[in-house]
C-alpha cells in the first residue's frame, strides 16, 4: 500500500480535521447530529483509501482520482451549516446589511419585486437550473477527465478550481453568515408559484437549508462562472450544451430568493480569483509531486 497524496488533499484533510474538532467541542451545545461526526471521519477515511490504491478499472480509478471528492465536499457543507453558530449566535446574521446594499442599487431589494418574470414557467426553469447546479462539478471534472489525463496541468487546474470554489464559499459563510431573503423575509414575500419540480425543489431545499447561513457569497454564481470558463476553454461543445443551465443557475439565485444581489456580485468577483489561483498554482496543488519537486521542497 502506497499513499499518494496531492497537496490539495492535505488541505482537504486539514479542513475536515478542524470541522471534526469543532463538532467535538460544540456538539452538546448545538445538538449537532452524531451522523455528521461519522460523515466527517468517514470522508477522511475514504480519502486515505482512495489515495492508497491504483485500481486498473477506469471507473474505479476515476473515483479514486477525483470522484471521492464530491461526498467529501458535501459533508464539509453540512458540517459548516451546522457548526457556524459556534462563532455566531443563532439568528445573528448580516442579512440586514446585505438588504441595505441591494436597496441602494435598486431602491428596493429585487426579492420584493412583483414582476411578470415570476411566471410559473420561469420559476420552474429557474428551479431546474438551481438544482442542476449540483451536477456541475461532477460533469466538469468528468468531461475533462475524459479528454485529458488526470496527470495533466489542464485537469489539475480544473480540479483545483472545483475544490477552491466550494471552500472559498464556505469560508465566506463562516466570516459573513447570511440566510437570504427567502428565509429572512418569508412573512413579507408572496409565495412563488411553479409546477411539480419547483414545488418539490422548494420543499427539499427548504428542509436542508433552513437554519443554514450559506447565502454570502453565492456559491451557485461562483461555480457557474468557474465551470463555464473551463468548459469554454477546454471543451467548447460541452460549454454550449451547459450554457443554458449555467445561466439558469445564476438567474435562479435571485429569482427564487435564495440570495441577495450582493451575494451574486460577490460570487462573480471571487470566481476570477479562484480561476487565477487554479491556473497559476493548480499543477502544484493537484498533481502528485515528482521526486525532483520533493527534493527541491526539502
Q: Are residues 273 and 244 in the same domain?
A: yes
Q: Hey, how many other C-beta atoms are within 10 angstroms of the C-beta on 187?
A: 5
Q: Are residues 47 and 172 in the same domain?
A: no
**Of residues 111 and 42, more confidently modeled:** 42
pLDDT of amino acid 146:
80
Could you identify the residue written with the cell 451574486?
A: 264
pLDDT of amino acid 183:
80
Q: Are residues 96 and 30 in the same domain?
A: no
**What is the distance of C-alpha 261 from the center of its chain?**
18
- Boundary-marking domain end, from 53, 87, 121: 87
Q: Residues near 108 by Cβ (< 8 Å), separated by ≥ 6?
A: none
pLDDT of amino acid 185:
78
Q: Are residues 166 and 237 in the same domain?
A: yes
Q: Are residues 107 and 31 in the same domain?
A: no
Q: Residue range 166-185: average pLDDT?
A: 89
**Maximum mean pLDDT: which of 6-10, 70-74, 278-282:** 278-282
How far CA 228 is from CA of 32, 243, 245, in Å, comes to 36, 7, 10
Q: Are residues 36 and 58 in the same domain?
A: yes
pLDDT of amino acid 201:
76
- Boundary-marking domain end, from 64, 87, 110: 87
Q: Are residues 57 and 106 in the same domain?
A: no
pLDDT of amino acid 52:
81
Q: What percent of the chain has pLDDT over 90?
A: 32
Helices and strands counted in the chain (H then E): 14, 0
pLDDT of amino acid 152:
86
pLDDT of amino acid 294:
41
Contacts of 99-105 with CB under 8 Å at 24 or more apart are 99/181, 99/184, 99/260, 101/260, 101/261, 101/262, 102/260, 102/261, 102/262, 105/261
Instruction: Note down the domain range covering 35.
Output: 1-87
Number of structural domains in the chain: 2
How far CA 78 is from CA of 16, 32, 36, 131, 144, in Å, comes to 12, 10, 8, 17, 27
Q: Kindly report the pTM of this predicted structure.
A: 0.87
- pLDDT by residue (tens digit) across 7-62? 888 888 999 999 999 888 876 776 667 888 899 999 899 888 887 877 777 777 77
Q: Is the Cβ–Cβ distance between 282 and 160 less than 8 Å?
A: yes
Q: Are residues 107 and 237 in the same domain?
A: yes
| Residue 286's pLDDT band (cuts 50, 70, 90) | confident
* Mean model confidence pLDDT for the chain: 83
Q: Are residues 155 and 181 in the same domain?
A: yes
Q: Are residues 180 and 288 in the same domain?
A: yes
- Boundary-marking domain end, from 87, 108, 143: 87
Q: Are residues 212 and 185 in the same domain?
A: yes
pLDDT of amino acid 174:
92
Q: Which residues of 207-219 are buried (b: 16+ CB within 10 A; e: fewer)?
A: eebeebbbbbbbb
Amino acid at each position: 500500500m502506497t499513499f499518494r497524496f496531492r497537496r490539495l488533499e492535505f488541505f482537504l484533510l486539514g479542513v475536515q480535521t478542524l470541522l471534526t474538532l469543532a463538532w467535538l467541542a460544540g456538539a452538546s451545545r448545538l445538538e449537532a447530529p452524531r451522523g455528521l461526526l461519522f460523515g466527517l471521519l468517514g470522508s477522511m477515511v475514504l480519502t486515505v483509501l482512495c489515495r492508497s490504491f491504483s485500481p486498473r478499472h477506469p471507473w474505479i480509478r476515476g473515483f479514486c482520482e477525483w470522484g471521492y471528492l464530491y461526498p467529501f465536499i458535501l459533508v464539509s457543507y453540512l458540517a459548516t451549516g451546522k457548526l457556524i453558530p459556534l462563532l455566531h449566535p443563532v439568528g445573528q446574521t448580516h442579512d440586514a446589511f446585505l438588504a441595505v446594499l441591494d436597496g441602494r442599487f435598486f431602491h428596493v431589494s429585487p426579492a420584493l419585486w412583483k414582476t411578470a418574470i415570476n411566471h410559473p414557467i420561469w420559476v420552474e426553469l429557474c428551479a431546474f437550473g438551481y438544482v442542476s447546479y449540483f451536477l456541475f462539478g461532477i460533469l466538469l471534472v468528468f468531461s475533462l477527465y475524459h479528454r485529458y489525463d488526470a496527470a495533466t496541468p489542464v485537469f489539475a487546474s480544473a480540479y483545483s478550481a472545483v475544490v477552491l470554489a466550494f471552500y472559498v464559499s464556505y469560508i465566506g459563510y463562516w466570516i459573513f453568515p447570511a440566510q437570504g431573503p427567502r428565509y429572512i423575509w418569508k412573512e413579507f414575500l408572496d409565495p412563488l408559484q411553479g409546477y411539480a419540480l419547483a414545488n418539490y425543489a422548494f420543499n427539499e431545499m427548504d428542509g436542508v437549508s433552513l437554519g443554514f447561513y450559506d447565502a454570502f457569497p453565492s456559491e451557485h454564481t461562483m461555480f457557474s462562472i468557474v465551470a463555464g470558463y473551463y468548459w469554454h476553454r477546454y471543451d467548447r461543445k460541452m460549454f454550449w450544451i451547459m450554457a443554458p443551465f449555467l445561466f439558469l443557475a445564476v438567474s435562479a439565485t435571485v429569482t427564487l430568493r435564495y440570495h441577495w444581489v450582493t451575494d451574486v456580485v460577490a460570487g462573480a468577483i471571487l470566481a476570477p480569483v479562484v480561476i487565477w489561483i487554479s491556473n497559476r498554482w493548480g499543477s502544484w496543488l493537484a498533481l502528485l509531486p515528482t521526486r525532483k519537486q520533493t527534493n527541491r521542497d526539502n
